[in-house]
Structure 1
Amino acid sequence: MTEGEAGFDPRAHRMVAEQRWFDDFRIGERFPLPSRTMTEAIFLAFQAASGDNHPIHYDRAYCRAHGLPDMLAHGYQVAIQTVAGAGLFPHLVQDSLRAFLEQSSRFLHPVYVGDTLYAALEVDELAPNRTTGVVGLRSTVHNQGGVLVLDGRHRYLIRRHPDMTRGAPDPG
């Protein structure tokens, strides 16, 4: 194949063929994310990226001296397990996504090195506007024992299908 070969369209190179718009979502739809074991390498990578050098996250002796069984994952390290880009959701809204509006998290139980985390996003809000709508996703992370360790929310501004908004001014 040569560069610029006729027939290839980069816009057609997608992870998911189906394009979804605000009106295509339903309350209760679930988007599981890949599971991940919190290895020492992940702890070190997070430390390098965040600059967080508190010993509770990186020093086993310190943790044990303070009554913890092992190194404790930083809250943000757990929250990033809910990044929508790890799953199919952003690929479904590739042409309709306008903005990532907000994210919140509540940390309910500790996560230690070696824990395996299972994250998911579930549609829990659909707030239509004229040409867009807000899709709210409940974000959850469970550990290998089935314990809910994080409960949170994401909100996205998604365009409505163009056929449903013909003639409507777009507020932004």
Structure 2
Amino acid sequence: MNALPRVGDTADERVFGPMTTEMFVRYSGASGDLNPMHYDRDFAEKAGYPSVFSQGMHSAALLSTFAGDWLGAERLRRFHVRFRDIVWPGDVLTCSGEVTDVALTESGHRVVVSLALTRQTGAAAILGTAEFDVDA
């Protein structure tokens, strides 16, 4: 990053997917989240869901990857998300971000961004914010 971000700057969107059950299974193994709702279709259907679905933290990991790639993972100081909608197999997810605040600090600048992970339906699966320490 060469220039200090400004309020209103946006990141290039990033698309993940389509999501697959295999992705959910791999995340289950990597994270230790072995809830069968995420990989056992019969179990999920018996619980009233139409199929398996993504772990919320899997979706949050995609959004944090996007944010870190945008402004530098090493600069990330805070990351906060709110889960809004379920991510299903076949979903195509789009990450977007916008700078909402830039403030001078003792060590440089604190850049605050709003983030969204949106399903192809237009529904936000996750909304969030992140803060980065950035030197100009």
Q: Which TM-score applies when normalising by structure 1?
A: 0.71
**Candidates 87, 111, 129, aligned match of 1:111:** 87
- Structure 2: give runs of 5+ residues left out of the alignment: none
User: What is the rounded CA distance, in whole Å, between the counterparts of 1:138 and 1:78 in structure 2?
Assistant: 16
Name 1:63's counterpart in structure 2.
44
Q: CA deviation at 1:130?
A: 4.1
Query: Aligned pair 1:126/2:97, yes or no?
Result: no
Name 1:81's counterpart in structure 2.
62
User: What is the rounded CA distance, in whole Å, between the counterparts of 2:23 and 2:8 in structure 1?
Assistant: 31
Identity percentage over the alignment?
23
Q: Which has the larger radius of gyration?
A: 1
- Are the counterparts in 2 of residues 136 and 154 from structure 1 also a CA contact under 8 Å? yes
Deviations 1:134-168 (Å, cap 9, x if unpaired)? 111111011011111110011110113xxxxxxxx
CA 1:37–1:124 in structure 2 vs 1: closer, same or farther (change >3 Å)?
A: same
User: What is the rounded CA distance, in whole Å, between the counterparts of 1:100 and 1:86 in structure 2?
Assistant: 7
- Are the counterparts in 2 of residues 34 and 86 from structure 1 also a CA contact under 8 Å? no
- Are the counterparts in 2 of residues 137 and 153 from structure 1 also a CA contact under 8 Å? yes
- Are the counterparts in 2 of residues 142 and 150 from structure 1 also a CA contact under 8 Å? yes
Q: Which TM-score applies when normalising by structure 2?
A: 0.87
**Candidates 36, 41, 46, aligned match of 2:22:** 41
- Structure 1: give runs of 5+ residues left out of the alignment: 1-18, 91-96, 161-172
Deviations 1:57-80 (Å, cap 9, x if unpaired)? 111111111111111211111111
Deviations 1:18-43 (Å, cap 9, x if unpaired)? x424xx21112111223322112211
User: Aligned-pair RMSD on alpha carbons?
Assistant: 1.9
- Are the counterparts in 2 of residues 34 and 87 from structure 1 also a CA contact under 8 Å? no
Q: CA deviation at 1:84?
A: 3.0
User: What is the rounded CA distance, in whole Å, between the counterparts of 1:39 and 1:110 in structure 2?
Assistant: 14
